């Protein structure tokens, strides 16, 4: 009872939250309308899938890929398949899904940058047969990411990547996963929607810019001249902000041959009013 009252008092928009929960539960309206409201399961996944699919279609692609780094039990990957299927119903694009994980849970932290005061080796072990039985088409890429990422494009020949979800917890694993961006530009849309877990947390994790995922992002940007992970200021400027909106970044490849290709509205005029 006390917890329910506390949540109510801490929520600045209780009626809005109630309405969104109702829309999500009853699945009112089209999927893309519920995505816009955040009234879907894992709205951060749905947001990235929908907008990546739109970008792919504007550029004339008929197929794209989604990657999840850090599958754990597999609930996120199952959800990602569902959102991919919904997007493909509304847009003329096929979507493939890949999930990267050791299958054996977290490895041991390597040093302080992996936050050993919060994480332990063995957390989030996967029941591989059970997850595979639930998946409809998503492919598991099992093994340490420092070994699987360099082989991914030659082993799987994926469609261009439109969105990536990073949930590897550690600095060491995340910086290894960022090597995915070393692949040729033919393997990516010119801009890729990314979700970063483990960048906000609580008074226990105390995430900062010098450890964990935030450090990995900083080092990636420092070491790449024409490839950058940038904040989504359009989300941060919304009058009502959700925590996941602070976890969306966009990968930009400024030297991608299609980076400057026009994808905006064709008619953008502001005639003088009478």
Q: State pLDDT tens for residues 42-53.
A: 999 999 999 999
For the segment 110-119, the average pLDDT, to the nearest whole number, is 98
Question: 241 or 70: whose pLDDT is higher?
Answer: 70
User: What whole-number percentage of the chain has pLDDT above 90?
Assistant: 89
Instruction: Kindly give the interhelix angle for 75-90 and 43-58, rounded to the nearest 10 degrees.
Output: 40
Q: State pLDDT tens for residues 165-199.
A: 999 999 999 999 999 999 999 999 999 999 999 99
For the segment 244-272, the average pLDDT, to the nearest whole number, is 95
Compute the distance between CA of residue 207 and CA of residue 228 in angstroms, rounded to an integer.
21
Worst-scoring range by mean pLDDT, 9-18, 79-88, 222-231, 254-263? 9-18
Compute the distance between CA of residue 233 and CA of residue 111 in angstroms, rounded to an integer.
32
- Residue 9: what pLDDT? 67
Compute the distance between CA of residue 231 and CA of residue 228 in angstroms, rounded to an integer.
10
Domains identified in the chain and CATH numbers: 9-40 (no CATH), 41-253 (3.40.50.150)
Average pLDDT over the chain reads 95
Query: Is it the case that residue 71 has pLDDT exceeding 80?
Result: yes
- Residue 1: what pLDDT? 63
Query: Is it the case that residue 7 has pLDDT exceeding 90?
Result: no
- Can you tell me whether residue 183 is helix, strand or coil? coil
**Burial of residue 148 (number of CB atoms within 10 Å: 0-12, 13-18, 19+):** buried
- Residue 4: what pLDDT? 65
Q: Tell me the whole-structure pTM to 2 decimals.
A: 0.95
Question: 7 or 218: whose pLDDT is higher?
Answer: 218
Q: State pLDDT tens for residues 192-240.
A: 999 999 999 999 999 999 999 999 999 999 999 999 999 999 999 998 8
Q: State pLDDT tens for residues 130-152.
A: 999 999 999 999 999 999 999 99
């Amino acid at each position: 009872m006390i917890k329910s009252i506390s949540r109510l008092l801490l929520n600045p928009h209780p009626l809005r939250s109630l309405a969104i929960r109702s829309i999500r539960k009853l699945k009112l309206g089209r999927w893309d309308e519920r995505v816009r409201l955040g009234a879907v399961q894992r709205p951060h996944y749905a947001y990235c899938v929908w907008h990546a699919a739109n970008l792919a279609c504007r550029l004339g692609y008929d197929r794209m890929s989604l990657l999840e780094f850090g599958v754990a039990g597999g609930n996120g990957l199952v959800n990602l398949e569902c959102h991919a299927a919904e997007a493909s119903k509304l847009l003329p694009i096929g979507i493939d899904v890949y999930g990267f994980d050791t299958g054996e849970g977290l490895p041991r932290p390597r040093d302080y940058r992996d936050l050993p005061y919060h994480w332990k080796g063995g957390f989030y072990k996967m029941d591989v047969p059970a997850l595979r039985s639930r998946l409809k088409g998503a492919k598991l890429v099992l093994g340490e990411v420092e070994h699987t990422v360099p082989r991914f494009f030659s082993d799987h020949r994926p469609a261009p990547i439109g969105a990536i979800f990073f949930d590897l917890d550690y600095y060491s694993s995340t910086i290894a996963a960022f090597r995915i961006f070393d692949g040729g530009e033919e393997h990516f849309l010119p801009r890729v929607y990314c979700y970063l877990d483990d960048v906000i947390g609580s008074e226990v994790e105390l995430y900062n810019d010098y450890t964990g995922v935030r450090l990995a992002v900083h080092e990636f940007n420092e070491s790449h001249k024409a490839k950058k992970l940038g904040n989504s200021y359009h989300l941060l400027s919304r009058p009502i902000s959700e925590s996941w909106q602070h976890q969306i970044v966009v990968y930009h490849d400024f030297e991608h041959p299609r980076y400057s290709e026009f994808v905006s509205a064709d008619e953008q005029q502001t005639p003088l009013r009478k």
